[in-house]
Structure 1
Amino acid sequence: MTPDAPHNDRVLILGIGNILWADEGFGVRCVETLGARHSFDDRVRLLDGGTQGIYLVNQLEDVDHLIIFDAIDYGLPPGSLKIVRDREVPQFLGAKKMSLHQVGFQEVLAMADLLGQLPANLLLIGVQPEQLDDYGGSLSPAVKSMIEPALSEALGYLADSGIHPLENHLASAEIMDAHPHAALRLGDYEHGRPSQAAAWRHGDARFLTPSV
């Protein structure tokens, strides 16, 4: 159990990944869903970190609790959820092969540590991806089904820290408007995807290596 947080403890809930590459978008979709359902007091900030990498380091300044949602190659069955905490998080990220943004976020934590800005409390909520090379695709069913358990982990952690969603909340405008276009929100993104016949998904044929 995490002790109750002092009233001035600051929490950053961060989703990282790329929604354009199928299960790579898990972290961002978790933050999007959390922000659409809940609002918190000013101790808690939700951030779609995308694949910004080292540019996220300034976001960790004065943060006491960092919750990270991400798709991570744990070597487990697709859709498996795994929780890593505190000082094990940077060690784990340095030891495991993740997705394309792995090195960038390792550097974020390392630089934050060097600057004395690494949050004292870290919670990594990761899911084993199934599909990463489907450009324009959404989450696979196995990974999409883990959004709810992942949010439960985060909300449970916050509750143990004495932080709860506000009553009579409205959907967070900050998160709902985080994407540059409404079509990138999960529901519209999935329903608006063109067919394979209308949108080639396997690279530009002009640059593909001819088979021998």
Structure 2
Amino acid sequence: MTGDARAVVDGTEMVPGSRVRLRPRGGADIFDLALVGRTATVERVEEDMEGGLHLVVAVDDDPGRDLGARNQLGHRFFVGLDEVEPLPVDGPSRKVLVAGIGNVFHGDDGFGVEVVRRMATRPVPPGVDVIDFGIRGIDLMYALGDGYETAVLVDASARGHAPGTVSLIEPDAGDPDGVGFGFGGAAVDAHGLDPAKVLRLAGDNGRVPARILLVACEPSSQTTDATWEMELSPPVGAAVDEAVRLIEGLLAKELA
């Protein structure tokens, strides 16, 4: 195949950086089913030996998309011109990441996961990705380097408040390495997924969001690493809707 060919889809020229929604034609093929409706970014246009045009795309929410550029390691897909729908270029694009963090097997530590699951049932503004990362720290690391302007991390964090207390925390401007996030000395450790370490790793790999916020909920005193419980305690469960409203208010301000 040869690169840098010219392709037009529905009157929109496909160039590196063009955003598309995937509409694979494979029907029951497992890979096509996984890609249906996903948004992606065009990396290049290829022309095959018969003159057919194909797009090389990276799926936007694929944590492996930044493992390497062009022919290096990484997740890339070849799709036909009739398998994509161009997305508007004048709307917000990948502005805010809302990341749910936590271990659903450790009681109240699953707070962040439950919040983003609740948000998935509600309308989300364009330019906002709401993703359940659970304890997948490497996936979160790649996502933080994926071009977002703001990241909102949602997690349970013991800060000495009454169980179920929801707090909005922003890192100190003088804490560029994210050590403890500068969260007033709060210990943010999601059972092996330490957001401060993830942020430092993401920064080592490139750009991270200019603004990072934490929506934290005080867990009950019974929640520990040894807890094997898939239900949130009553006060933390009651705080989920409050956190959703808080985040939706933040999104309105960030996208204004």
TM-score (normalised: structure 1):
0.66
Read off the aligned partner of 1:132 and give its amino acid letter.
Answer: T
Q: Are 2:175 and 1:84 aligned?
A: no
Report the alpha carbon displacement of residue 91 of structure 1 after superposing the two structures with TM: 4.2
- TM-score scaled by length of structure 2: 0.55
For these two proteins, the number of residue pairs brought into alignment is 157
> Which of the pair is proportionally richer in helix?
1
Output the CA distance in 1 between the equivalents of 2:206 and 2:246. Answer: 27
Counterpart of 2:149? 64
User: 2:110 aligned to 20, 25, 30, which one?
Assistant: 25
Provide the identity percentage: 29
Q: 1:156 maps to which residue?
A: 249
Which of 211, 216, 223 is 1:132 aligned to? 223
Equivalence map 1:1-212=2 (5 Å): 7-8=92-93, 10-41=95-126, 43-60=127-144, 61-87=146-172, 90-93=178-181, 95-101=185-191, 104-130=194-220, 131-133=222-224, 134-162=227-255
- d(CA) in 2 for partners of 1:153 and 1:91? 25
Distance 1:27 1:117, change over 3 A: same
Higher deviation after alignment, 84-93 or 9-18: 84-93
Equivalent pair of 2:135/2:193 in contact (CA under 8 Å) = no
CA 87–120 in structure 1, closer or farther in 2 if over 3 Å, else same: farther
Which segment drifts farther, 31-40 or 101-110?
Answer: 101-110
Aligned-residue RMSD, C-alpha:
2.3
Amino acid at match of 1:65: T
Provide the rounded CA distance (Å) in 2 between the counterparts of 1:44 and 1:74.
Answer: 28
Bigger Rg over Cα = 2
* Change beyond 3 A, Cα 1:80–1:96: same
Which of structures 1 and 2 has the larger relative contact order (alpha carbons within 8 angstroms, sep 6+)?
1
Task: Indicate the structure with greater strand content.
Answer: 2
Paired residues of 1:54 and 1:105 also in contact (CA < 8 A) = no
CA, structure 1 residues 9+93, in 2 after alignment: closer, same or farther (shift >3 Å)?
A: same
Q: Secondary structure at the match of 1:38?
A: coil
Contact persistence 1:71–1:128 (CA under 8 A): yes
Q: For structure 1, list consecutive stretches of 5 or more residues without a partner in the other structure.
A: 1-5, 164-212
Structure 2 gap ranges (5+): 1-90
Q: Deviations over 1:120-168 (max 9, x none)?
A: 11121001100324313311111111111111111111111236xxxxx
